[in-house]
Structure 1
């Protein structure tokens, strides 16, 4: 018997492209010519190796999701041909209701995380999200201007536009509060004269997350768990457990200082990026 056919990646890739349009404040509907020119290369580069590049398929059949509109063409029998779509001047995109929801930051983060984790395993997520204009969603820190990172080592400065600068006092406060011990594993990285830890934002202050620079949005982490948290390998659940995203297995319980109040909304946002919303 032939092996079980793998589901096509055409629809999830198209949905990410359409979310990218909304994030860039473009029109929710795209004409067929624009759709074909932008989505076709994505399907070629990120689709399954043995899958045909047929942008007309998601253009038309995403209607079954209840999130997608196609305008300008009557319901034919089967998938309309590219020439038929062009002749009709057809356009497609998220429905008004879906677009309204996906313009909200939390819903957008959850949708991106769910699509990537559920349907696009094995895809270079960072490369794909970058191609559709959602590059900052590949990590919890987002895109930091001026080459800064989110480990407390390189603050961002203003150049030609106003950009937030991390509050160095907050960074120092969270580290001192935990004595440089990682809130995940409890490890303290020793240096010659002291200890080293990193202040990690839960909802990144970089684009596109635009999280706040406040104590309730910070964690004190060792370098290893900072990277894993930032790259969405681990997350924090409602009961302060720290599961591994790939398996759901709980590896640690988050350590909390009595004076450190973490806002659940920031953890919810991070879980959304992890596809755990």
Structure 2
């Protein structure tokens, strides 16, 4: 398919599929979706990129995640879009930024991931009244939606958008508003349905963690943090925490296995859980905000960590 360069909201963009310009997205796969999200451009005002597009994309991903296996029509009519996205732009957009949901509704087409139906190619941005009169609808294209319905790709997409395009936004608050609260931490939320770990009935469903596994993990490292090596002293012993790399809670639903566990001090457990640090394939521990290598993960000979879990966590941090 031929590629052209386009200008969207006054910015020069990388080549995009021609089909993406007219509300019909091209055949795209996971690498295309994530690459586009990684390089997403936004309108620049007062030397700051607008947050309208990334906020809208998170909202659309939240709607896909809420489908829970259903794959029906995912395009949203303009009136619903304005009522749901407008308050998000008001509450999480740049200070003093105008609330103009019609801009991401229309201009996300040039990403190649987004479809707009019901209104023909328009010179300039259609007004809200024009979109309403036309019965316009918008959302992820079929192929992009298919990619983002898959849990690993969705996790990486959310991590990319938050880390690269919304670093100064309260991630937990925004993700909660768009129905993606579980992606605000590596531990996730407790699922309301059966996942990959057995559940027992308490006042709610809770992962049935294997306490013997946790004890074995701590004994293996003698309560020393695998990141910094510190041993937190108590009055009669030492203290450490067993951290799941891919959380047991939804939406991650990781396994309660030694290959998915780390022995960490409380500080590094919190930093790992809230994406302040991540682990490379060569076991270097990097600071997410700077990319600087701070430590090298300490590994016991009998502790084999599954790299798939490490990659999943790294994706949530916005890295591949």
Q: Same fold (TM over 0.5)?
A: yes
Dislocated runs of 4+, deviation >3 Å: 159-163
Cα RMSD (Å): 1.8
Q: Deviations over 1:185-240 (max 9, x none)?
A: 11111112211110000000111111111110000001111011001000000100
In terms of mean alpha carbon deviation, does 136-145 or 203-212 score higher?
Answer: 136-145
Which of 179, 193, 197 is the aligned partner of 2:240? 197
Q: CA deviation at 1:51?
A: 1.2
1:136-191 per-residue CA deviation (whole Å, 9 max, x = no partner) reads: 11110011369xxxxxxxxx742477542111111111111111111001111111
Contact 2:190 2:205 in 1 (8 A): no
Once the two structures are overlaid, the 10-residue window that deviates more, 198-207 or 22-31, is 22-31
Unaligned runs of 5+ in 1: 147-155
What is the distance in 1 between the residues matched to 2:142 and 2:211? Answer: 43
The residue aligned with 1:57 is 103
Which residue number corresponds to residue 95 of structure 1? 141
After TM superposition, the score normalised by the length of structure 1 is 0.92
- Residue 190 of structure 2 contacts residue 249 of structure 2 at CA under 8 Å; is this kept in 1? yes
> Aligned ranges for residues 1-277 of structure 1 at < 5 Å?
4-25=46-67, 27-144=73-190, 157-159=200-202, 163-277=206-320
Could you tell me the TM-score, scaled by structure 2's length?
0.80
CA offset digits 1:14-64 (Å, max 9, x no partner) = 000000001101752111111000000000000011211000100000001
Unmatched segments (≥5 aa) in structure 2: 1-44, 193-198
Q: 2: CA distance between counterparts of 1:237 and 1:28? A: 36
Q: Give 3-state SS (helix, strand or coil) of 1:93's partner.
A: strand
Tell me how far apart the structure 2 counterparts of residues 181 and 5 of structure 1 sit (CA, whole Å): 45
Question: Do the aligned residues in 1 keep the contact of 2:191 with 2:251 (CA within 8 Å)?
Answer: no
Per the alignment, residue 10 of structure 2 pairs with none
Q: CA deviation at 1:121?
A: 2.0
SS in 2 for 1:200: strand
Task: Give the number of the structure whose residues are more often strand, by fraction.
Answer: 2
